[in-house]
Amino acid sequence: MTIGIITMHRVPNMGSVLQAYALQHTINQLGYRATIIDYVFPQKKLIPLHIRALRWGLDLLKGRPNHKKRGKLNEFISSHLFLTRKYNNAEELKADPPIFDIYCTGSDQVWNPMHIGNDMTFFLDFVPDSSPKISYASSFALDSIPKEYYSRFSSYLSKYTSITVREDSGINIIRTLINKNVLSVCDPTLLLKNEEWLSLADHKTHPIKGAYILVYIVGYMYNPRPAVYRIINEVKKGIGIPVYFFDGGVSDLVNGFTHLIKGVGPYDLIYYIKNASFVITDSFHGSVFSTLFSIPMIALINDKNRDSRITDLRRNVNGDRSLIPYDKVLCFNHDYQTYYNCDPLLVERLRFDSISTLQRIIDDASAHLNSNSLGE
């Protein structure tokens, strides 16, 4: 049986690439043939030519770390994702859609109206109504959506055979829109065991000698700098080991942090988190891999603009104490190995339950497919 997955796998984000790989890999392990629909999701923000030229020049002066990062992302995609032909826009996809037995909306912020706007591709609007449609860990990444999206979203969601989401807030949003049972499952990256992820990164030679604190700040929903430097310095003082900034920038250098890891890619994210003594991050997938590898961490949150993905994840695995507002004056707990960690047994249970749910919704879609075939 073939399953086509639509997700955000070509945005310049390591977590997006890794979650796409994880879902495809897991579905294949369950005995199906999964393929990523190679839709190149257009970025909403059009950057002026002179700004792009300035960024290119600065990247060149710094040794082209952003160029190297894009190269590593593309290398991972070409090496590990099974793709359809490339679709450069929604019109191309509607004109010549790929044929699968089941269609699946994958994870990431595929239903976040702030990102997708009026592009309903991730609601499978290019798929015939008769084809089974499922979603796995699809995310709104919001506590609520603007009312102007209610009608459009509910129309497409009602056509799904089964819906699973990544946050409890997503369940509430869908129940507001349609009368359908909705389940919460973990992000696809949590479906793989540690050794499966480490097999992707075991070829790397560790360039850092000794223990270190890893800081990974993406700043996609808010900018925690410079307030976050107070937290970083408190952790550094409490543990007494160097701080390394994963994909760090000029602001970090100006504020006295000289250890920057540049030109990074998906393999690097896995490797540097696994080998860290402590992680400080505002990244959802930074939080995911810290959780997977049981690394003590601080998950930076913004009380005014909270990423429900991070808070739901850490609460589900008894890691609430790692949720720290980025602008808080931190009183560092020196029992950090346990205080800022999570329960690995709960991580295992979350993985098991989510894989079981994935199998069940595929079974339901398959039954729907067979009933349609009998009716023809």
Which range of 28-37, 111-120, 191-200, 310-319 scores highest in mean pLDDT? It is: 28-37
Mean pLDDT of 275-285: 96
User: Token digits for 146?
Assistant: 């603007």
The model's confidence at residue 220, banded by pLDDT at 50, 70 and 90, is confident
pLDDT given for residue 43 in this prediction: 58
56-to-50, 114, 253 alpha-carbon distances in Å: 10, 27, 20
pLDDT given for residue 193 in this prediction: 95
Which tens digits make up the pLDDT trace of 294-339?
999 999 999 876 677 899 899 999 999 999 999 999 999 999 999 9
The yes-or-no verdict on residue 42 having pLDDT over 90 is no
Angle at 216 between CA 41 and CA 106, to 5 degrees: 30
CATH of the domain at 327: 3.40.50.2000
pTM of structure: 0.91
User: Do 93 and 240 share a domain, yes or no?
Assistant: no
Which tens digits make up the pLDDT trace of 60-71?
445 556 778 889
> Rounded to an integer, what distance in angstroms lies between the CA atom of residue 320 and that of residue 303?
14
Mean pLDDT of 246-253: 90
pLDDT given for residue 46 in this prediction: 47
Mean pLDDT of 5-14: 92
User: Do 354 and 333 share a domain, yes or no?
Assistant: no
The model's confidence at residue 59, banded by pLDDT at 50, 70 and 90, is very low
Domain residues for the domain of 149 are: 2-191+350-375
pLDDT given for residue 204 in this prediction: 61
Mean pLDDT of 21-32: 98
Please provide the average confidence, as pLDDT, over all residues in the chain.
Answer: 90
User: Do 336 and 361 share a domain, yes or no?
Assistant: no
The model's confidence at residue 249, banded by pLDDT at 50, 70 and 90, is confident
Which tens digits make up the pLDDT trace of 169-182?
899 999 999 998 99
Note whether 107 and 190 are within 8 A (CB): no
User: Do 132 and 223 share a domain, yes or no?
Assistant: no
User: Do 336 and 363 share a domain, yes or no?
Assistant: no
User: Do 96 and 200 share a domain, yes or no?
Assistant: no
The yes-or-no verdict on residue 58 having pLDDT over 60 is no
User: Do 311 and 230 share a domain, yes or no?
Assistant: yes
User: Do 253 and 182 share a domain, yes or no?
Assistant: no
Which tens digits make up the pLDDT trace of 106-153?
998 899 998 899 999 999 999 999 999 999 999 998 888 999 999 999
User: Do 89 and 104 share a domain, yes or no?
Assistant: yes
User: Token digits for 59?
Assistant: 């990247």
Comparison of pLDDT for 57 and 33, the residue scoring more:
33
Place of tokens 């793709």: 83
| CB neighbour list of residue 299: distance below 8 Å, 6 or more residues apart | 281, 282, 287, 290, 310, 311, 314, 319, 322, 323, 324
> Rounded to an integer, what distance in angstroms lies between the CA atom of residue 145 and that of residue 114?
9
Percentage of the residues of the chain whose pLDDT score is greater than 70 = 91
User: Do 117 and 261 share a domain, yes or no?
Assistant: no
User: Do 20 and 35 share a domain, yes or no?
Assistant: yes
The yes-or-no verdict on residue 283 having pLDDT over 80 is yes
The model's confidence at residue 50, banded by pLDDT at 50, 70 and 90, is very low
Q: How many domains does the chain have?
A: 2
Alpha-carbon radius of gyration of the chain: 21
User: Do 11 and 75 share a domain, yes or no?
Assistant: yes
CATH of the domain at 63: 3.40.50
The yes-or-no verdict on residue 53 having pLDDT over 60 is no
Percentage of the residues of the chain whose pLDDT score is greater than 90 = 74
